[in-house]
Amino acid sequence: MSEKGTAQSTRRMRESARRPYSFMLDGDLVERAREEVGENDVIRSIEAALAAAIDYKVWVREVSAGQRDLLS
């Protein structure tokens, strides 16, 4: 792939990684977590889970496109 093609591909991946996503959270589960660990830890945990989900989606896309191998 040429440098121009690689730059365009990288830009597209960055743009797609910044797209808004919608996640549905189970209200009962969130409330239980609030009671068990407190609001701040619930928020941090949700943020970490969302970041991991987005990273995973980008990884799957890159592996499918042949830009990464399975173990990277």
Q: Express each pLDDT in 19-62 by its tens digit.
A: 777 778 899 999 999 999 999 999 999 889 888 988 999 989 99
In a domain, 26, yes or no: yes
Which one has a higher pLDDT value, 10 or 37?
37
In a domain, 10, yes or no: no
Number of domains the chain is built from: 1
pLDDT given for residue 69 in this prediction: 82
Token pair belonging to 23: 């996640």
pLDDT given for residue 70 in this prediction: 77
Q: Which residues constitute the domain of residue 57?
A: 22-72
Token pair belonging to 57: 């989606």
pLDDT given for residue 5 in this prediction: 59
In a domain, 12, yes or no: no
In a domain, 13, yes or no: no
63 pLDDT above the threshold of 80: yes
Q: How far apart, in Å, are the Cα atoms of 31 and each of 43, 47, 49? A: 12, 16, 17
pLDDT given for residue 25 in this prediction: 86
In a domain, 34, yes or no: yes
Token pair belonging to 66: 């042949």
